[in-house]
Structure 1
Amino acid sequence: MRIAFYGSSLLSAYWNGAATYYRGMLRALAAHGHDIVFCEPDAFGRQQNRDMEPPPWARVRVWTADETGLREALAEAAQADVVVKASGVGVFDDELLGGVMRAARPEAIRVFWDVDAPATLATLRQDPAHPLRRALPRLDLVLTYGGGPPVVSAYEALGARRCVPVYNALDPDTHHPVSPEPRFTSALNFLANRLPDREARVQAFFLNAAHHLPDRRFLLGGSGWEDKPMPSNVARLGHVGTADHNAFNCSSLAVLNVARDSMADVGFSPATRVFEAAGAGACLITDAWRGIDLFLKPDEEILVARDGRDVADHVAALTPMRARAIGAAACARIRGAHTYARRGAQVAALLAEMQERRREARVA
C-alpha cells in the first residue's frame, strides 16, 4: 500500500525525540512492501541539523511551514491508500489533521498516530471542542507510541473506533554495542532535551543523584540546559547527534531514563532511549512507572529508582561486572522480543486486516 505519513521529521532528531521511532517503524513497514512518503515541515531548525539523509525506504517531502507549503503537502494524501497524521508535527497540526483526512480518497485508511498519548489525552479532556476530539469517530484507527490499557480505554471513551499501542523498539542495525569513548565516560549518563513537563523529574532523579555523589562524574546530553543550575560534578554536552548515541550509551557505568510527567503518571510508555540504551548493552536505571516489567525485568535487566537517592544508591553499589551483566541481559531481552521488525509486522497486519474488511464491505 502507498502510505502518506505526516510527522515532525524523519531526517532530523534535533528537538525531535520521535525521530528514531519514525525511522524504525517506517523502515520496518517498507520491508513489508509498503511505499512510504514522509511529509515534514521545514521548521525549528531541523533541516539545518539533519543527522540523516533521505533513506532508500521512504521518499521524504519537506514542505515550507506556511499555508502554501501546507496545501502542497496535503496533495500527497489524495494519492495514498493509507494516510497517517502523527501528533506533534509542531506547525499547522490542526490544519494537517483536517486537511489530510479530507484529501484522502473515500477508500483510504485514515490513521492518527500519537507519539505522546498521555499529553494528547490531557489536552482533549480539557478542550471538548478540540479538532482531534471531533475527528476521532471518523478515523479508522488510532495508533499510540505507548500507554497500554489506560490509553486504549481513554481513546475509546472519547470515540475512537479502535486504538492499538505500538511501543517503541530497537533497530539492532542502528543501536548496538560499540567501544567506549573517553569523552562520554562517567558514572551516569543521561540524554534528554529540557522540557517543562520533564524538568522537575530531571532535578529529582538526575541532579539530586549527582548531589548525593559529589565525587562521581555525571554527564548530561540534550538541548536547553545551558542556564540550568547544576552540581559541579555534572558536565553538559548540549545536543548529542544520533551518530553518537551508541558511544554515549556504552561509555558510562550506567545510563538513566526519566519519563516525562504525563508518561510516568499513565505508565506503559517506555521512551526510545530505553530501547536504544538496552540495545547498546547499557546498564539502565529508570524512574518507576507502571508496566516496566512488560519490557525489562527489574533488578536483572534494569534497575528501578523511586527518587534521586535511589539512583545514587544504585550507582554507588554498581560494579563494572554487574553493570555489564545487567546490560547484556537487557540487550538479549530487547533483541529477542522488542525490535522494530516485530512492531512493523504488527502494523502491517493491522493495515492488511483493515484493507481486507474494506474489500469485503465493497463486495457486500
Structure 2
Amino acid sequence: MTKPLDIVVLGLSLSSSWGNGHATTWRALLRGVAALGHRVTFLERDVPWYASHRDLAQPDFCALHLYADLDALRAHDAAIRDADAVIVGSYVPDGPAVIDHVLETARGVVGFYDIDTPVTLAQLARGETPSLETRQIPLFDVYFSFTGGPTLDLLERTHGARAARALYCSVEEERYRPTGEAFEWDLGYLGTYAPDRQPALERLLIEPARRLPDKRFVVAGPQYPEEVDWPANVTRIPHLPPAEHASFYSRQRFTLNVTRADMVAAGWSPSVRLFEAGACATAIIGDAWEGLDTLLPDGEAMLVAREPEDVVSILTELPAMRRDAIAAAGRARVLAAHTGVARARELVAMLAQASAERETASGKKVAGL
C-alpha cells in the first residue's frame, strides 16, 4: 500500500446491534481497519427497527451515513466511485439492486462480505435472493465469506466466484475481557431467537435447567416467542447491548454457543459470540461442527456437548481448576488470531491481492492498493 485506503461499506447495520450479529461483526472489523490507519465510510439503510434501537449512532472509527431508499443512496455515488474498495454485506435491504448499482458505479475493488454464507447458499438453492442473485457472484473481485473450508471451493467451482476467501468474524479485545465480577449464573446464552437454533438451545440449556433446579441459568436476546417454556431457574434478558456483554460473560461459570443449522451443515462457521466469550475468559460449552477444532479444540479451549447429559455432567462434575484452564486457553487463542486488528490485516491483504489480480487482468493499476 502506498497510502491509507478509502473503503466504503454498505452493510445491514452498524448503528444498532438489536436483533442482529452483523453490527458487532462490523464494529470489530472496522475498528481494526481504522486502527491500521485506513478510512472507512459505512452506508446503512435507515429502517424503523434499527432506528428505534440504536446503540452506536456516532461511531468514532468511521463515518456513518444513513440513507432512506435506493434513490437516496445515489447521494453517495461520489464516495462509492472514488473509493479504493467497496464492500457490500449480506442482508442489505434490496441487496441485489444495491449490488448492481455499486458494480456500475465503483472504480475500485468491489467485494461482497457474506456474514451468513451457508444461509445465503441455502436460500439461493431455493430460488430466494434476499442478499444477492446467483448471477452477481462472479462479478465481485473477491467474495469474503463468514464460512471457510469446503464452502470456499463451492463458491468458486459451482457459483463462479473469482476469489472466495474466508473472513471470519472477530472481537474487540479492548471491550471484551474478564471484568472480575462474581459468578451469577452457572450457564448462560446470548443470541437472538432463531427457529433452527432453538432445538439446540432446548437440548443444551433448557433441559439441563429442568434437571438441575439448584443451578442458575440465563438467556439474553430478543424475539423469543411467548410460548417458550422457560424453567423457573432461567433468567430472561430481552436485549443486552454490546457495552454489557463483557460483564454478562464474566458472570457466567460457563457460556453456551449454539450454531444455526445451515452453518452446522457447512462447518467452519464460528459465530462472533464464540470469540466474544473466549476473549472474556468464559469457559465455553458448544455444539459440534467441522472445523471447530482448528479454532478452539474440544477439551483444550472449549467443551463440546451433544446431549443434555453432557451439559449436566460438565456443570456438576468438572473441577473449577479445569474449567479455568479451558477458559484461559480459549482466551489465549482468540487474542492470538481473532481480534479486530488481526482480521483487518487479513482484509487489507486480501483487498491488495484482489487489486493485483484485477491489475493483471486489465493492465491498469487500481489506485491506492
Give me the TM-score of the superposition, normalised by structure 2.
0.91
Q: CA deviation at 1:74?
A: 5.1
Change (3 A) 1:161 1:358: closer
Is 1:345 the counterpart of 2:345? The answer is yes
- 1:363 and 1:221 map into 2 onto residues whose CA distance is 51
Q: CA deviation at 1:81?
A: 2.1
Cα deviations by residue, 1:131-184 (Å, 9 ceiling, x for unpaired): 521111221110012x222210221111111100111223211211103267xx
Please give the residue correspondences for 1:115-130 in structure 2 after superposition, counting only pairs within 5 Å.
115-127=115-127
- 1:128 and 1:226 map into 2 onto residues whose CA distance is 25
Q: Which residue of 2 aligns with 1:92?
A: 94
Change (3 A) 1:114 1:129: closer
- 1:327 and 1:85 map into 2 onto residues whose CA distance is 35
- 2:267 and 2:358 map into 1 onto residues whose CA distance is 34
Q: Which residue of 2 aligns with 1:168?
A: 169
- 1:128 and 1:43 map into 2 onto residues whose CA distance is 22
Please give the residue correspondences for 1:24-173 in structure 2 after superposition, counting only pairs within 5 Å.
24-64=28-68, 66-73=69-76, 76-89=79-92, 91-105=93-107, 108-127=108-127, 131-145=132-146, 147-156=147-156, 157-173=158-174
The 3-state SS of whatever aligns with 2:363 is helix
- 1:229 and 1:163 map into 2 onto residues whose CA distance is 42
| Structure 2: stretches of 5+ with no match in the other structure | none
Change (3 A) 1:224 1:148: same
Q: Which residue of 2 aligns with 1:9?
A: 13
Higher relative contact order by CA 8 Å / sep ≥ 6: 1 or 2? 2
Q: CA deviation at 1:32?
A: 3.1
Q: CA deviation at 1:187?
A: 0.9
The answer as to whether partners of 1:222 and 1:239 remain within 8 angstroms in 2 is yes
Q: Which residue of 2 aligns with 1:286?
A: 286
Is 1:215 the counterpart of 2:214? The answer is yes
The 3-state SS of whatever aligns with 2:149 is helix
- 1:287 and 1:294 map into 2 onto residues whose CA distance is 15
Change (3 A) 1:94 1:357: closer
- 1:129 and 1:316 map into 2 onto residues whose CA distance is 46
| Structure 1: stretches of 5+ with no match in the other structure | none
The 3-state SS of whatever aligns with 2:52 is helix
The answer as to whether partners of 1:63 and 1:73 remain within 8 angstroms in 2 is no
The answer as to whether partners of 1:97 and 1:132 remain within 8 angstroms in 2 is no
Q: Which residue of 2 aligns with 1:355?
A: 355
Cα deviations by residue, 1:204-248 (Å, 9 ceiling, x for unpaired): 222122122222111010002251222222111110111110011
Q: Counterpart of 2:84 in structure 1: which amino acid? A: D
Give me the TM-score of the superposition, normalised by structure 1.
0.92
Change (3 A) 1:76 1:85: same
- 1:17 and 1:327 map into 2 onto residues whose CA distance is 23
Q: Which residue of 2 aligns with 1:308?
A: 308
Q: Counterpart of 1:176 in structure 2: which amino acid? A: R
The answer as to whether partners of 1:201 and 1:261 remain within 8 angstroms in 2 is no
Please give the residue correspondences for 1:176-215 in structure 2 after superposition, counting only pairs within 5 Å.
176-180=177-181, 185-215=184-214
The answer as to whether partners of 2:178 and 2:250 remain within 8 angstroms in 1 is yes
The 3-state SS of whatever aligns with 2:40 is strand
The answer as to whether partners of 2:142 and 2:354 remain within 8 angstroms in 1 is no
Task: Indicate the RMSD between aligned Cα atoms, in angstroms.
Answer: 2.0
